[in-house]
């Protein structure tokens, strides 16, 4: 897709743009859903063996089965599905998922062709990446509530990584695998907020936002705009655009991926996690094309961090007096 000058101007003015129908369901998204069906199969087998489920609910469609089994077993699924490590309590057994279908999605030509028009032809896959399966809040057990499964408070992506990346040209790429609606917790943004610089971020005191790092309510100005999206739609967003994930007030899940890309050679803001060269016009041999190598790089990072070393994944400190 060739971006028009009007779209690029919209991005510069508002700090985001949504491209409708960019990804293909059969080619890009369905293989990822099939891969996660296998992940859920393994979890259900474990929970059934532990006596936490009355049935494997195999006859249910994937999305319904996920809600039924997670809520009945009262076991968290978020980290098992995620494509990154958490920011604390990493052990050798911390679950994560780095399958070939997800790897192909990160390297999708449809995505990279557009990313290239924002940041240039030397594209690095930033390791700040997640998949979030947001459950209905009314059904979600307390044990399941994490930043991967529930609402996300107002923040800037530059605000949740380290300061060495402040000048890095990091582009956020967000897209749903289910309909993202006003009812089930679509993303919301504050247009033009990327031009106001980096705001103070504090630890949230709201139990529903799980002690996340977020912009205090008193600093939130400007009208926010919800962004309902369908599978195939893709949001491209500036690293300083203020945004939040709304609560899921429906009976269905809202599943999304948030990825980040940047020019090769710039700091990622999370140097302990592995990224890779997704595209290089100048040096194609540097591109990572092997999903197993990608997966092993994350296993190596997990092993290195499992020692319990004191790592600061973002710049904000607990108890900052500015947050009082």
HSE-CB of 274 using CA atoms within 13 angstroms: 17
CA distance 229 to 187: 9
How far are the Cα atoms of 122, 123, 128, 148, 236 from residue 113, in angstroms, in the given order?
Answer: 11, 10, 20, 28, 13
CB-CB contact of 175 with 257 (8 Å): yes
CB-CB contact of 276 with 124 (8 Å): yes
* CATH homologous superfamily, domain 15-29+83-309: q2cbj1_9rhob like domain (2.60.120.620)
3-state secondary structure of 12: helix
CA distance 270 to 318: 19
Of the candidates 104, 228, 126, 242, the one whose C-alpha atom is nearest the C-alpha of residue 173 is 126
pLDDT tens for the chain, 324 residues long, are 899 999 999 999 999 999 999 999 999 999 999 999 999 999 999 999 999 999 999 999 999 999 999 999 999 899 999 999 998 889 999 999 999 999 999 999 999 999 999 999 999 999 999 999 999 999 888 878 888 888 899 999 999 999 999 999 999 999 999 999 999 999 999 999 999 999 999 987 666 555 678 998 889 988 999 999 999 999 999 999 999 999 999 999 999 999 999 999 999 999 999 999 999 999 999 999 999 999 999 999 999 999 877 788 888 877 777 787
How far are the Cα atoms of 100, 167, 229, 290 from residue 256, in angstroms, in the given order?
Answer: 18, 27, 10, 24
- Give the number of other Cβ atoms within 10 Å of residue 91's Cβ: 11
CA distance 116 to 2: 10
- Give the number of other Cβ atoms within 10 Å of residue 2's Cβ: 7
CA distance 23 to 233: 7
The pLDDT of residue 197: 94
Non-local (6+) Cβ contacts of 207 within 8 A are none
Of the candidates 125, 155, 126, 118, the one whose C-alpha atom is nearest the C-alpha of residue 12 is 118
Of the candidates 186, 34, 165, the one whose C-alpha atom is nearest the C-alpha of residue 105 is 34
3-state secondary structure of 322: helix
The pLDDT of residue 209: 58
CB-CB contact of 248 with 185 (8 Å): yes
* Secondary structure (DSSP) of 52-106: --S---TTS-HHHHHHHHHHHHT---HHHH-SS--SS---TT------HHHHHHH
pTM of the model: 0.95
Backbone angles phi, psi at 71, to 5 degrees: -70, -35
Of the candidates 42, 177, 187, the one whose C-alpha atom is nearest the C-alpha of residue 105 is 177
């Amino acid at each position: 897709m060739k971006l028009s000058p009007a779209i690029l101007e919209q991005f510069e003015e508002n700090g985001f743009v949504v491209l409708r129908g960019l990804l293909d369901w059969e080619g890009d998204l369905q293989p990822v859903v099939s891969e996660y069906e296998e992940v859920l199969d393994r979890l259900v087998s474990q929970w059934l063996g532990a006596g936490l489920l009355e049935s494997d609910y195999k006859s249910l469609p994937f999305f319904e089965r996920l809600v039924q089994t997670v809520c009945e077993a009262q076991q968290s699924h978020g980290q098992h599905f995620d494509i990154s490590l958490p920011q604390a309590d990493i052990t050798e057994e911390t679950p994560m998922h780095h399958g070939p279908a997800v790897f192909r999605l990160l390297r999708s030509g449809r995505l990279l062709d557009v990313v290239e028009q924002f940041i240039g032809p030397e594209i690095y896959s930033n390791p700040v990446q997640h998949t979030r399966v947001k459950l209905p809040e009314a059904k979600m057990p307390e044990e399941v509530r994490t930043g991967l499964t529930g609402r996300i408070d107002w923040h800037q992506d530059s605000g949740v990584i380290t300061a060495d990346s402040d000048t890095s040209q990091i582009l956020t790429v967000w897209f749903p695998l289910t309909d993202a609606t006003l009812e089930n917790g679509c993303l919301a943004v504050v247009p033009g907020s990327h031009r106001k610089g980096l705001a103070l971020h504090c630890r949230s005191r709201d139990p529903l936002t799980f002690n996340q790092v977020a912009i205090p309510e008193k600093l939130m100005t400007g009208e926010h705009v919800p962004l309902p999206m369908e599978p195939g739609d893709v949001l491209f967003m500036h690293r300083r655009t203020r945004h939040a994930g709304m609560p899921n007030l429906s009976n269905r899940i809202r599943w999304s991926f948030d990825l980040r890309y940047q020019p090769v050679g710039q700091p990622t803001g999370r140097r302990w996690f592995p990224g890779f060269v997704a595209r290089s016009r100048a040096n194609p041999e540097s591109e990572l094309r092997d999903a197993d190598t990608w997966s092993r790089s994350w296993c190596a990072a997990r092993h290195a961090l499992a020692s319990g070393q004191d790592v600061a994944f973002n710049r904000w400190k607990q108890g900052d007096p500015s947050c009082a």
